[in-house]
Amino acid sequence: MIDDSTRQLCFDGRNVPFRPGQSVGAALAAAGISSWRTTRVGAAPRGLFCGIGVCYDCLVTVDGRRSQRACMTPAHEGQVVASDDPRRALDEPGGPNA
């Protein structure tokens, strides 16, 4: 690979490298991570499916914002990405992530 500009985001406490211009979903996929969400009913793992922003299966929490599409969200240095948990309560407005 040609680049020496690899950056890192943090996924569930683990450093994941990415190259500028990649999406969060691409970075996770490149790192061999294939799921980051569990479903509400079957508690089944999900990750990228359509890859182009249509299926909403790759939802992930990015810097505290819930339900972001990993395939549509650009990766940034130092970004905190967390698996989406369907049971985690909403943040109160004015809270740390408001």
How far apart (Å, rounded) are the C-alpha atoms in residues 7 and 25? 15
Closer of 13 and 42 to another protein (Cβ): 42
DSSP string of 3-72, one letter each residue: -S--EEEEETTEEEEE-TT-BHHHHHHHTT----EE-TTT--EE--SSSSSSS--SEEEETTEEEEETTT
Q: What is the nearest approach in angstroms of another protein to the Cβ of residue 87?
A: 5
User: Footprint of another protein on this chain (CB under 8 A)?
Assistant: 2-3, 5, 19-23, 25-26, 29-30, 34-35, 39-42, 44-57, 59, 62, 65-68, 71-74, 86-93, 98
Shortest spacing between CB 14 and another protein, in angstroms: 17
Minimum CB separation of residue 51 from another protein in Å reads 2
Nearer to another protein, 15 or 40 (CB): 40
User: Which residue, chain included where needed, has tokens 């406490």?
Assistant: 13
